[in-house]
Amino acid sequence: MLGAREFNFDGLVGPSHNYAGLSFGNVASFSNVRSMSNPRQAALQGLAKMRALAQRGFAQALLPPQARPNFRMLRAIGFSGTDADVLAQAWRDAPVILACAYSAAPMWTANAATVSPSADTLDGRVHFTAANLNNKLHRSEEHLQATRSLRAIFADQERFVVHDALPPTPAFGDEGAANHTRLAREHGSAGVEFFVYGRVEFDPSAPFPKKYPARQTLEASQAVARLHGLNPAQVVFAQQSPAVIDQGVFHNDVIAVGNGNVLFYHEQAFADEQDTLAALRVAMENVGAGLTAIRVDSADVPVADAVASYLFNSQLLSKPDGKMALVVPHECHENPAVARYLAQLTASGGPVDELVEFDLRQSMRNGGGPACLRLRVVLTDEEARAMHQGVIMTEALYARLVPWVEKHYRDRIEPKDLADPQLATECMAALAELETILGLPGLYDLS
Query: Catalytic positions, please?
Result: 175, 251, 372
Strands of 92-228, DSSP E: 113-116, 126-130, 160-163, 180-184, 191-197
CA distance 266 to 249: 11
Rounded to whole angstroms, the Cα distance separating 328 from 333 reads 9
Q: Is 135 one of the annotated binding-site residues?
A: no
User: Is 127 labelled a binding residue?
Assistant: no
User: Which residues have a Cβ under 8 Å from the Cβ of 35 and sit 6 or more positions away?
Assistant: 19, 365
3-state secondary structure of 439: coil
The reply to whether 28 sits in an annotated binding site is yes
Question: Is 221 within any annotated ligand binding site?
Answer: no
- 24 assigned ligand-binding residue: yes
Enter the DSSP assignment of 272.
S
**Residue 46 is assigned to a ligand binding site:** no
Query: Annotated binding residue at 20?
Result: yes
Instruction: Check whether 152 is labelled as a binding-site residue.
Output: no
26 assigned binding-site residue:
yes
Radius of gyration for the chain, computed over Cα atoms and rounded to the nearest angstrom? 21
Crossing angle, helix 39-55 and helix 395-408, to 10 degrees?
Answer: 180
User: Is the distance from CB of 332 to CB of 338 less than 8 angstroms?
Assistant: yes
Query: What are the DSSP E strand ranges found in 95-139?
Result: 113-116, 126-130
Consult the annotation and say whether 385 binds a ligand: no
DSSP-assigned letters across all residues of 379-398: E-HHHHHHS-GGGB--HHHH
User: Which residues sit opposite 292 in a β-bridge?
Assistant: 262
Q: Is 139 annotated as a binding residue?
A: yes
122: annotated binding-site residue? no
111 has binding-site annotation: yes
Q: For residue 157, what are the contacts with CB-CB under 8 A and spacing of at least 6?
A: none
- Residue 253 annotated as lining a ligand binding site: yes
Annotated binding site for substrate: 20-29, 111, 138-139, 215, 253, 366
Annotated binding site: 20-29, 111, 138-139, 215, 253, 366
